[in-house]
Amino acid sequence: MAKSPEEEHPKKAFGWAARDTSGVLSPFKFSRRATGEKDVAYKVLCCGICHTDLHNAKNEWGSSIYPIVPGYISSSIHKQIVGEVTEVGSKVQKFKVGNRVGVGCMVSSCHSCESCKVNLENYCPKMILTYGSKNHDGTMTYGGYSDTMACEEDFIIRIPDSCCSIALGWDYSV
């Protein structure tokens, strides 16, 4: 019998997932996709809470796929997920192991549609959100309420060492 995309990837991760519309988070072990050639893998240092995370955990907008590991939405200058780079893909140019980084609501896009060609990836019909989406390889994306993540280089920013991780991870608290 064929393995699921998640079973194909040996990168083990731990997070807090909602498993139903109660929105209650519980411990969740899962597999992350392999780090691709343009990916930056990182250890999550902190992650803010946005009320949108609660809407998604409870499926109040009708689009959640369970189990769901929330943690990403950022509608301000803050990046909700702050991490430390642990691995970079072979074609990554802007980051190195040990850098502190911030991630928002997207981890990838198609890179070829009209929106992507003019740097409007947030309008890409194939954008991949930080959680609740499917990666290009079919694995699910799980958000910042976890210990590790990976993101394409173009969807991550470098955070100077002089900035406080907790302050950057703080967005709208509930």
Enumerate domains of the chain plus CATH numbers. Answer: 8-169 (3.90.180.10)
- What's the token pair of residue 120? 């409007």
Q: How far apart are CA 163 and CA 79, in angstroms?
A: 12
Q: How confident is the model at residue 4 (pLDDT cuts 50, 70, 90)?
A: low
pLDDT of 8: 66
User: What is the pTM for the complete model shown?
Assistant: 0.85
Question: Helix, strand, coil shares of the chain as percentages rounded to 5?
Answer: 15, 30, 55
Residue pair 72/169 in contact (Cβ under 8 Å)? The answer is: no
pLDDT of 78: 43
Q: How far apart are CA 10 and CA 39, in angstroms?
A: 16
pLDDT of 77: 40
Summarize the confidence of residues 91-111 as an average pLDDT: 94
Summarize the confidence of residues 97-124 as an average pLDDT: 94
φ/ψ of 88, rounded to 5, equals -130, 145
- Interacting residues of 160 by C-beta distance below 8 A, sequence separation 6+: 100
Residue 6 has pLDDT above 80, yes or no: no
Distances (CA, A) of 95 to 13, 15, 28, 44, 159: 22, 25, 29, 16, 11
Summarize the confidence of residues 156-160 as an average pLDDT: 91
Q: How far apart are CA 120 and CA 105, in angstroms?
A: 14
Q: How confident is the model at residue 88 (pLDDT cuts 50, 70, 90)?
A: very high
- Interacting residues of 126 by C-beta distance below 8 A, sequence separation 6+: 109, 110, 113
- List the single range of 23-37, 43-57, 117-131 with lowest mean pLDDT: 43-57
